[in-house]
Amino acid sequence: MNVTDELDTTVGGTKTWQRELAIAAGLLAFGLIALPFAVYVVGQRVLGESGEGAGALDLAESLWLDLLSFQLPAWILVLSPYLTIQLARGIRRIWRRNV
């Protein structure tokens, strides 16, 4: 099977690459917007108060600035939702191939 044939297949009327792009964009938006606030809430509950004036927006701003300065941990955090989905897809594909 040719790679271009695989990319041009349709799933429910939508091309596979368009579906993949939508998934990637949604998970990237989640990683950029919702994940910093989730990390803040979990940190508050597990570790307690982090200091005077250090709120959820401060954490998000710090993460976004780290992204702009190409800090690897920030990029890993933001991309982790998409990378997790890709890992699960790969494992599922290997699992199905061996069964």
Is it the case that residue 80 has pLDDT exceeding 70? yes
Domain range annotation of the chain:
13-98
What tens digit of pLDDT does each residue of 15-60 get? Answer: 888 999 999 999 999 999 999 999 999 988 998 876 666 788 888 9
CA distance 20 to 98: 25
Overall pTM surpassing 0.75 (yes/no): no
Mean residue pLDDT across the chain: 86
Q: Write out the H or E segment, with its range, that includes residue 31.
A: none
